[in-house]
Amino acid sequence: MKGLVLAGGKGTRLRPLTHTMPKQLIPVANKPILDYVMDHMRQAHITSIGIVVSPGTGHYIKEALDNTCADLDITYILQEKPLGLAHAVQVSHEFLGDDPFLMFLGDNLIKHGIKECIELFNTSKSDAVIMLKEVEDARMFGVADIDETGNIKQLVEKPPDPPSNLAVVGVYVFSPMIHQAIAKIQPSQRGELEITDAIQKMMTMGYSVRSFQLNGWWLDTGKKSDLLEANRVILDELSTSKIEGTIDTKSTIKGNVYIEAGATIHRTDIQGPAIIGSKTVVEDTNIGPYTSVGNSCSIKHSEILNSVVLNDVLIHNISPMQDSIIGNNATIRQKTSTHESIEFMVGDNTEVDL
């Protein structure tokens, strides 16, 4: 079985961060979102993987995966324009050939692996298995209506009156029959070839489409609040503290905290779950909970809560800062003191003086 990871798109809801990096490379708990997807592929023993990229950001994806996925056989597939998920499959047909494949949206995070979904595909001998998750409000998602045996009866995209509370997660297993279905559909009103339309076409052509219900968490990282929630959820997975850096005797660590090798902590209180990246220096600061600080940062005389800080960031005299995402190589300094909480969404190479 082959893998197909969709890593294109513009990530407009995550600007300004996505002006300078693909959304799939934004780190959650100091690890790019796309790396979690590739880990799932490894765990499912999928080694031949196509990565669908867009013209403006594909080189960033390739550079990142060249550094972390040398063990995988990766083919990069250019999707010139974002014309839908089914269009991404269409442009990948040469790579996929007549093999079954697992398709994973590269900005989604799930708790459990994908092996069970593949096992259901193999044992049921279906032509497609669609991963679903119960949600409170299904109106913002693709939604599935299933029968008592788990077969999908209908898929609808963002319906005002959902037929169920089962949202389409963004993980699919397909037989090569999906290509026949895509060839028979037309672009939707928004001008895209919709994967939901292709799956619906498979069913009308008589092919079997089953559902797999995800029990663990599912996180769509499409906007700022989603990223912060993903950071909280994954940091909660830390089961123990791991201290590889240097901490002086005037600092305190409470809860599960990961201090990476080369980090230096002076006169600082850290409340976990939290993670501090390599070569980062933290002085006279309160950090956490639910805060990730990247590599080679300088944090002094500040308080940071429930935030994601990327690499090479300087934060001095900011207290308190919470619910924030700070891009690479950003500088945030405060010259006058305040006790009001400050919230940021700051892109790469930004300088903020308060």
Q: How does pLDDT run across 8-40, given as a tens digit for each residue? A: 866 566 666 666 677 888 888 999 999 999 999
Q: How does pLDDT run across 54-81, given as a tens digit for each residue? A: 888 889 899 999 888 989 999 999 999 8
Report yes or no: 350 and 310 within 8 Å, Cβ to Cβ: no
The pair phi, psi for residue 268, each rounded to 5°, is -130, 140
- The domain covering 2-219 belongs, at the CATH homologous superfamily level, to Spore Coat Polysaccharide Biosynthesis Protein SpsA; Chain A (3.90.550.10)
What's the CA dihedral at 9, 15, 19, 20 to 10 degrees?
-100
What's this model's pTM, rounded to 2 decimal places?
0.88
Please check whether the domain covering 238-353 is classified as CATH 1.10.8.10.
Answer: no
Please provide the size of the chain in residues. 354
How does the average pLDDT of the chain come out, rounded? 88
Please tell me the distance from the alpha carbon of residue 320 to that of residue 1, in angstroms, as a whole number: 49
71: exposed, middle or buried (Cβ count in 10 Å: 0-12, 13-18, 19+): exposed
Lowest mean pLDDT among 145-149, 247-251, 273-277, 284-288: 145-149
Domain ranges of the chain: 2-219, 238-353
- pLDDT mean over 73-97: 94
Within the chain, residue ranges assigned H as helices are 33-43, 58-68, 85-91, 93-96, 115-124, 177-183, 195-204, 224-235
